[in-house]
A = this chain, B = another copy of it.
Amino acid sequence: MGATKTEHFTSGQNQIASIAKALGHPARIAIIEHLLKVNECICGDIVNELPLAQPTVSQHLKELKSAGLIKGTIEGNAICYCINKESIELINSYFTGIIKKLKESDCC
* Chain A residues within 8 Å of B, Cβ to Cβ: 4-6, 8-10, 13-14, 16-18, 20-30, 32-33, 36, 39-40, 50-52, 71, 73, 75, 80-83, 85, 88-89, 91-92, 95-96, 98-99, 101-102, 105, 107-108
Contact = CB atoms under 8 A, between A and B. Distances in A.
Contact of A102 (B73, B85, B105): B85
Contacts of A71: 107-108
A22 to B, nearest CB: 8
B88 A99 contact: yes
B95 A40 contact: no
Contacts of A27: 4-5, 9
A36 B13 CA distance: 14
